[in-house]
Structure 1
Amino acid sequence: MDLKLTKETVPAAEMIYDGLQEQPVELDYILPDYCPDIFRLVRCEALPVITEWAVSGDKLTYELRCDIHILYCGEDGSTVQSVDQQRSFTRTAELGKSVESPEVRISAKTGHVNFRAVNKRRIDLRGAVSVKISVAGQHQQEVISDAEGLNIQLKKVPVKYAAQRLNAVKNVHIEEEIELTAAQPDISGIISCRCSASGCETKLISGKLLAKGEAEVELLYAGGSGDTMTVEPMSFSLGYSQIIDVDGLDDSFDCTVAPEVVSCDISVIGGRDGDNRVLRCEAELRISCRAVRTATVLIAEDAFSTVYPCNAEISEIKAEQIPVIYDESFRNSARLAGGEDVPQNIYAMWSEPKNINAHIGDDGHSVVISGMLVYSMAAKDRTGSMIMPDREEAFEETIGLPDNIGSSEVTAEVRVRETSYDISAEGVLTAKADLAVKLSVYSSDSIKAVTDISVDDSSRKERDGDYAIKLYFGTENESVWDIAKRYSTSVSAVMEENELTGERLESGGMLLIPIVS
């Protein structure tokens, strides 16, 4: 009887490109005539965002936009003025090879920004933005799932893998007008605006994905004018509900949806009476959907023939793994100032995480997260001047997980839920940040799989004697497969003869090894 092999195709993720690109950002800005002279610079923010990207052949092309927001005070020292500019760049990354159905992950962050007033009318800015890019494709791996004939024995193991994945991206535009309450003063200028989008609800309807969520907007505006000017915090939510077309999607897929803010523009609508009490908010979100259908297949991990010399080609493969998601939270606190360094008045405080790293703890069932938290505030110092300082605080947090995750890879997404502050009776300013963490834990173990089997049926295995049964002293936890392979017999025969119930010996002792042919 000839040897018949059955093969399965297991897809594996293949990293095509994983790199970092740097983009210089420069601005030489002369104030228009209607702006007052620069007396003191207050703050500068350069916020980068990837607006779009495309893969063509072996190249990735993307558009990078950097929103620059500079605040300064004129000679009166109280009124805050703003300068808003944009810089756009088109960049290309050479991937090294073409890839079908690429999965692109691309993000931008500010490396450094230095700015100065060259004179009373001119601002000079020099900075850099770093863009992290990873592009993954798929390649197919053929492995043996079954074999029969020539007394072949297979050791099979189940493998769970990503059998199919779908990706879709949709940009959503939201416009909304917000009217101030009676207790809020008129708007004389926007000082800062921050917009964030957390996770959203999803639902599959007739082969389409419904994504529903909110974007949170927090802003500071200058109210009143002159000596009566105040700084007012304000927050509101922008809701969205969108249907995303994902070709081939059905309820056999697991979906993850990640919203990202592309832009958020705030403008003031003047009333008929000359008052400024209505804000128009225009936001753009990019909603990225990743859908994965999992499958499980039995593959051969090892093989031998009980009668003939046999060679099994074994390779290490890595099936695309499905991460286990854990949602956790923790709190960070930091001492920001004390005594005379505490501002006279704090209008608002916020914080942002950066340089996040995560790794599996030494105990195998915890994750260690470290990084920096940047605490920022808008305040008035003891001279009555507007200040917006930043303070970086390093943190490290160990989060225990319910399962023993062993040797794995982990990524962490950290976002700030809420930032608060307190000034003690002793005059110490302390800030607290409540952080939400989404951990994605991946199995990092490669799988040993038989990719081919060859049997020499022209000769038989030589035995050290003519016997039907052999005595063997096994050790605790020894593999029955290894014993059977050593004596060229079948696993089922060893287990049946010794009334074994598991694939490993529960205790050491004498075994009867039946010889099969």
Structure 2
Amino acid sequence: MDLDLIKDYIEYEQSIAENDTKMFIKEEYVIPDTLPDVDNILMLDVKPMITNKEVGTDKVNLEGQLQYTILYMAKDGGATEAHSVVYNGNIFESIDMIGAQSNMYCDIELNIEHMDCVIINERKIAIQGFIICKCNGYNINSFEIVKDVHEGKDIQFLKNPMTVDKVMEPIETELVGKAEVKIDMDKNECLKVIKYDVTIGKKDVRIYDGGLKIEAMANVAILYKGKNGRDLFCVSESVPLYKEVTVDELKPNMEYFTEFEVQSFEYDVRQDDMGENRVIDVEFVVKAITHVMYKEEV
């Protein structure tokens, strides 16, 4: 007698290969002609970003970008004044990872271990340091199980039910934040933006039947150089973020966690009603990745 078996598949992640690599970075840049000579370096801020990754046999090819923001002091007559300059560098690295194959998944994390900015001469600087690259390669495998028999009323069989944890594909979405950052009258109007920073503060992520709701508060801080003076000023603004995503498979009883990553940031300094540069329009994109897990009895 032929049995019509009802089958199911249990998926699991299998770690195949991993490697932590220290990458040495060394770049030289020339100060633009529109800026004065460098006298002293005050600060170096580095933002790494992965733009592409490709897994091959026993290796991972990585492409990325590094944004360097440098704050320095320059002598102007008998006084000193702060200036900033931004450079963009590229990363092209082939990382050894024994066991890697082209069909596997790979998670990569870049962390700045140490980065220095040194003065070569008054018109040229050098940036050098180390970035730690953490690579984890894994496969999503599955095995087949028999969960029931179709129309098996006249058949006796022993059924041993079990509960397994299943993982959905990550849910990725982008949240766009926009705001007008206004400068109070007790501060100088803006001559030039020196540095910006976006951090995600309060987060509220909820899953409901057939969908996902993401609410967060982004804290935007901007350091700028004041007009008609040498002072630096800081302004900040809290920007609400909101997004709903439709995913039919989602249920309220599922477990989940969400990661946030700032993808891009743009700003524009403009005049207010009084004709002064006291409004900074900002627009940025935050990528939210939600990992969902649920239990299923088989």
TM-score strictly above 0.5 = yes
Q: Does 1:201 align with 2:192?
A: no
Q: Which amino acid aligns with 2:35?
A: C
Q: Does 1:108 align with 2:110?
A: yes
Structure (1/2) with the larger strand percentage: 2
For the 8 Å contact 2:25–2:128, the answer to whether it is kept is yes
Q: Does 1:179 align with 2:182?
A: yes
Larger Rg: 1
Aligned partner of 2:130 among 128, 131, 145: 128
State the shift of 1:8 in Å. Answer: 8.1
How far apart in 2 are the matches of 1:22 and 1:113? 13
State the shift of 1:247 in Å. Answer: 6.4
- CA displacement 1:121-144 (0-9 Å, x = unmatched): 111112232221223333335689
- CA displacement 1:216-243 (0-9 Å, x = unmatched): 12232233434xx433232212222123
How far apart in 1 are the matches of 2:57 and 2:162? 32
How far apart in 2 are the matches of 1:134 and 1:218? 33
How far apart in 2 are the matches of 1:293 and 1:117? 55
Q: Does 1:96 align with 2:97?
A: no
Q: Which residues of structure 1 form unaligned runs of 5+?
A: 1-5, 146-153, 298-517
For the 8 Å contact 2:209–2:252, the answer to whether it is kept is no
Correspondence list, 1:108-507, <5 A = 108-141=110-143, 160-198=163-201, 200-204=203-207, 207-226=210-229, 229-246=230-247, 248-251=249-252, 253-270=254-271, 275-296=276-297
Three-state SS of the structure 2 residue aligned to 1:32 is coil
- CA displacement 1:150-189 (0-9 Å, x = unmatched): xxxx9x8x86532342212223343332221233321233
For the 8 Å contact 1:198–1:259, the answer to whether it is kept is no
Three-state SS of the structure 2 residue aligned to 1:184 is coil
For the 8 Å contact 2:7–2:145, the answer to whether it is kept is yes
For the 8 Å contact 1:171–1:285, the answer to whether it is kept is yes
For the 8 Å contact 2:12–2:142, the answer to whether it is kept is yes
**CA separation of 1:218 and 1:159: change in aligned 2, threshold 3 A:** farther
Q: Which amino acid aligns with 2:125?
A: I
- CA displacement 1:433-466 (0-9 Å, x = unmatched): xxxxxxxxxxxxxxxxxxxxxxxxxxxxxxxxxx
How far apart in 2 are the matches of 1:207 and 1:54? 33
**CA separation of 1:56 and 1:253: change in aligned 2, threshold 3 A:** farther
Q: Does 1:65 align with 2:68?
A: no
How far apart in 1 are the matches of 2:28 and 2:290? 39
Q: Which residue of 2 aligns with 1:427?
A: none
How far apart in 1 are the matches of 2:59 and 2:174? 23
TM-score when normalising by structure 2: 0.77
For the 8 Å contact 1:41–1:72, the answer to whether it is kept is yes
Moved more, 197-206 or 229-238: 197-206
Three-state SS of the structure 2 residue aligned to 1:75 is strand
For the 8 Å contact 1:167–1:246, the answer to whether it is kept is no
How far apart in 1 are the matches of 2:58 and 2:248? 24
State the shift of 1:270 in Å. Answer: 4.5
How far apart in 2 are the matches of 1:58 and 1:252? 40
Q: Which amino acid aligns with 1:217?
A: V
Q: Which amino acid aligns with 1:288?
A: I
TM-score when normalising by structure 1: 0.47
Q: Which amino acid aligns with 2:137?
A: V
State the shift of 1:71 in Å. Answer: 0.9
Between 1 and 2, higher relative CO (CA 8 Å, sep ≥ 6) is seen in 2
Q: Which amino acid aligns with 2:73?
A: C
Structure (1/2) with the larger helix percentage: 1
Q: Which residue of 1 aligns with 2:48?
A: 48
For the 8 Å contact 1:44–1:68, the answer to whether it is kept is yes
Q: Which residues of structure 2 form unaligned runs of 5+?
A: 1-5, 148-157
Moved more, 243-252 or 281-290: 243-252
Aligned residues: 279
Three-state SS of the structure 1 residue aligned to 2:169 is strand
Q: Which amino acid aligns with 1:177?
A: E
How far apart in 2 are the matches of 1:205 and 1:12? 25
Q: Which amino acid aligns with 1:40?
A: N
Q: Which residue of 2 aligns with 1:83?
A: 85
